[in-house]
A = this chain, B = another copy of it.
Amino acid sequence: MVYKTVIVDDHPIVISGIAGLLSDLENIKIVEKFESGIVLLDYIEDNTVDLILMDIFLPVINGVDLCKTIKQKHPKIVIIGMSSQSERSLVMQFIQNGGNGYILKNASFDEFKNCIYKAIDGEIVFSEEVKTIISQPLSEELERIPALSRRERDIALLLSQGKSTQEIADDLFLSFLTVQTHRRNILQKYKMKNVAELIAFLLKNNMLN
């Protein structure tokens, strides 16, 4: 079987580079190249596509939303995201929105080739550097961040569920004033302005649940 492949990138140079790399691959046939996601959406309505390689940073519509939209209508199309630099949360978001893999553009020809074949085979794939990015926080971020105490975690969790100070006090059989103290301590510990920023911070750092 030959996989009909589309490349989407707003840099023509990158398109031709990738096209060159892929031209060697037997069962990958590049049928179209686009510089915009909107045009791609039109195209896949009228044409069969098996594989899409797309830049994540696109004008108008970003890669994550584009991927989501495509997968809703065409779940069988294999979509691999690409970018020059990246960060953990972006990669995870892309995968959560249906992406089948993520490759950094500095990946070697072999990496590209392997990732593409494995993705077609139904796996979720990452290029080497992406793998290290995904499990990065272990060495840097997390060591600097102080942990929540048990009680603080309880309270933060209830805060994330929309509970007020009074409701939390009732839930945990504490005084209103005690919960207030904990709240203040948590905000000070992480130098946050208010609960909104706090919850965002805690969730992004996986410190709740």
A residues sitting closer than 8 Å to B (CB atoms) are: 64, 68, 71-72, 75, 88-90, 92-93, 95-99, 118, 122-126, 128, 131, 134-135, 137-139, 142-143, 159-164, 192-200, 203-204, 206, 208-209
User: Looking across the interface, which residue of chain B has its beta carbon closest to that of A192?
Assistant: B162
A64 touches B206 (CB 8 A): yes
B98 touches A135 (CB 8 A): yes
What are 5 A-to-B residue pairs whose CB atoms are below 8 Å?
A68-B138, A159-B196, A160-B199, A160-B200, A162-B196
- Complex formed: what's the CA distance from A160 to B142 in Å? 20
A204 touches B203 (CB 8 A): yes
User: Looking across the interface, which residue of chain B has its beta carbon closest to that of A99?
Assistant: B135
B193 touches A196 (CB 8 A): no
Q: How many copies does the complex hold?
A: 2
B206 touches A96 (CB 8 A): yes
Q: A124 touches which one: B96, B134, B139 (CB < 8 A)?
A: B134
- Complex formed: what's the CA distance from A199 to B208 in Å? 13
User: Looking across the interface, which residue of chain B has its beta carbon closest to that of A95?
Assistant: B134
Chain B residues within 8 Å of A93, by CB: 206, 209
User: Looking across the interface, which residue of chain B has its beta carbon closest to that of A191?
Assistant: B162
Closest 10 CB pairs of A and B: A162-B197, A162-B193, A160-B200, A195-B196, A98-B135, A203-B203, A199-B199, A159-B196, A196-B199, A199-B200
